[in-house]
Amino acid sequence: MPFFSVAVAEASILQRPFNNNISAAYVFGDSTVDPGNNNFVPTLFRSNFPPYGKDFRGQTPTGRFTNGKLSTDLVASYIGIKEYLPPYLDPNLSIEELMTGVSFASAGTGLDPLTAQISVGSVISLPKQLEYFEEYKTRVQSGIGKKRMEAIIKDAVFLVSCGTNDFVINYFTLPIRRKNYTVSAYQKLVLQNLKQILQDLWDEGARRIAVTGLPPMGCLPAVITLYSENAILERGCIEKFSRAGMEYNRMLQNELNSMQGRLAHLGAKITYIDIFTPMVDMIQGFGKHDFDEVSHGCCGSGFLEAGFLCNPKSFVCFDASKYVFFDSIHPTEKTYIKLFLASRPVIDLMIQN
């Protein structure tokens, strides 16, 4: 991204409200919010090598599946915690770093337990991420005491971003779930599992929880490549994928609204973050004029490369800010910035006292 536009975007993000006392940020989910936990587990779902991180500080490939920052880094910076949200499994984290928040997310995982099991290698399931959070609390408590630890958790923001792998990899690509579930039934299964995760977070002390919906999954370059009749010439979004995501998002919004209504008197702030609408605008609407390429990734051919297929030997575009996607699945930093800016009103409501 050209320096001027980066500076403008960063300045806009840093104009944060001053009436918040958020203590930390905790993130659970998949590769869209994994800053490098998969570097520390035996899996091929990694991105700790170039060209990933080519626009990150020091051109460092940290394990983020993009060219720069993730949306969760932008959130942490905006609310004044720190510039980057680190992976919990990094063994070098200090107690001070732990106290202000970490990400437990793992690329390749899902809300359906089967999704993590079918991944190449051992990725971290959502229930396991919750176990790590319990372990985290014990570690912090041993360093600063139970009272201070509980105060940090009470005033923290919790972000959950997961579900794409359940549909794209698990349901639509593999036959196991399709044998027993219609799309509607599978949406309900995934949502039920998410509800359990949210209940577990609540039981662990979370009071401010934001959940991102699914993106327009049919617009992911890899999905277009795999499911178009002629992927070379026809790069339009695949409707059945995006429709499944849109329907799931409606169900998710209703559930989160219901939870908020039930728990508001206990101090709950449970919110939905829409990434579907702004991404559709970037790809198909007026926002597409901000990008030169909306249906190919920046890495390699842009058709299928992601993870180890996007590697130091791959061709990589010169300016990733001209692309919606960095590889065939994951957005560029510029896309994450635009998604953050679109969701900022919701974040403001969540972090206000």
Residues labelled catalytic: 31, 327, 330
CA atoms within 13 A on the CB side of 230: 2
CB atoms within 10 A of CB 22: 22
| CB 163, CB 248: distance < 8 Å | yes
Which H or E run includes 295? strand 293-297
13: helix, coil or strand?
helix
In Å, how far from its chain's centre is CA 289? Answer: 24
Nearest to 245 by CA among 286, 204, 275, 290: 275
Q: For residue 273, list its beta bridge partners.
A: 212
Prior bond to 345 cis, omega within 30? no
Alpha helices in the chain (DSSP H): 3-13, 71-78, 95-99, 113-118, 126-144, 146-154, 164-165, 183-203, 221-227, 239-263, 276-284, 333-351
| CB 293, CB 335: distance < 8 Å | no
